[in-house]
Chains A and B, each alone.
Chain A
């Protein structure tokens, strides 16, 4: 039975320094360095590539991020009102 917990992250793009640490810990492998896009500080920021909603909001990415770039949200369908 597929997980009923879904998550997502919000990336403060201009805070990212492109250190790539989050991409090394994401269990779903849905975090990748952006191609050809630079942020205000000239770094290539990380991007969430999650078309099929694999993210579970485990927050391992936020845990390892040295620059508090990532906020993590989680939605649990079982507790969702009127689901």
Chain B
């Protein structure tokens, strides 16, 4: 006999404790994330991306055989935030280190996590060649259009006219060149099996980003070649915006230049479902 009386009508309020006790967990911290509190600025979406990766590792049950390659940049300390084996690469060299790890331990799941300075600037050769070799690793590329750790310099992904601490008059494309669309560039290399761009500025994009992380790991598990997810991410501190404004800035200003979407999905990856 079901009771359709409104639960919280005057006579039977359900207390939070009862909801917790008798209800079910809808969301909680993934095991693959450690208990450490992150050093990221308030509202920085590195935290969301970390969480999505942690969730995917849990769901695929690969925590025990995952090896993480941390970059130099804001996420240089990420090995504190994950409960997986990890190494710290020199700036830009994560794909090379990941290559060394994956080639000698092919049964492990190896991923790099890199910012735009790390991947698109000093590490451009490494990511290009890792992709071209179809290195069987997953690359999570966080594009927040500035160098965050060193407090807001222009990055290869800074937008035209974007004011940063090293482009005080705004990025002049005639002087500094154009922002690099790495997903499109990497997608052009045959060795890349799965290359997409996502973001994490609202519930819809976060859910899509989560699926992409899962697909990237599955691509690696199936040995189909390099997988890369580029995330448009925020930097409230160095963009001089509130966390909420920075998410809006991603949607209204970054996305037009960096369209979200799939740029390379090999047939075999599609077949993974």
Contacts and interface: CB of A to CB of B under 8 A. Distances in A.
B150 interface: no
A57 B23 contact: yes
Contacts of B207: 63
A53 B14 contact: yes
Contacts of B43: 17, 19-21, 66
Instruction: Sort chain A's interface into a size bin.
Output: 35 or more
A20 B44 CA distance: 12
Interface of B: 2-4, 6-9, 13-14, 16, 18-20, 22-29, 33, 37-38, 40-48, 51, 202-203, 206-207, 236, 242-244, 247
B206 A72 contact: no
A21 B26 contact: no
Which of A53, A66, A75 gathers the greatest number of chain B CB atoms within 10 Å?
A66
Interface of A: 1-4, 6-8, 10, 14-15, 17-21, 24-25, 41, 43, 50, 52-53, 57, 59-60, 62-68, 70-78, 80, 83
B73 to A, nearest CB: 16
B7 A21 contact: no
Given A17-B43, A68-B33, A68-B51, A75 B14 contact: yes
30 contacts: A2-B6, A2-B7, A4-B7, A6-B8, A20-B43, A20-B243, A24-B244, A43-B42, A52-B8, A53-B13, A59-B27, A62-B26, A62-B27, A63-B27, A64-B202, A66-B42, A66-B51, A67-B47, A71-B29, A72-B27, A73-B16, A73-B24, A73-B25, A74-B24, A75-B14, A75-B22, A75-B24, A77-B14, A78-B2, A80-B22
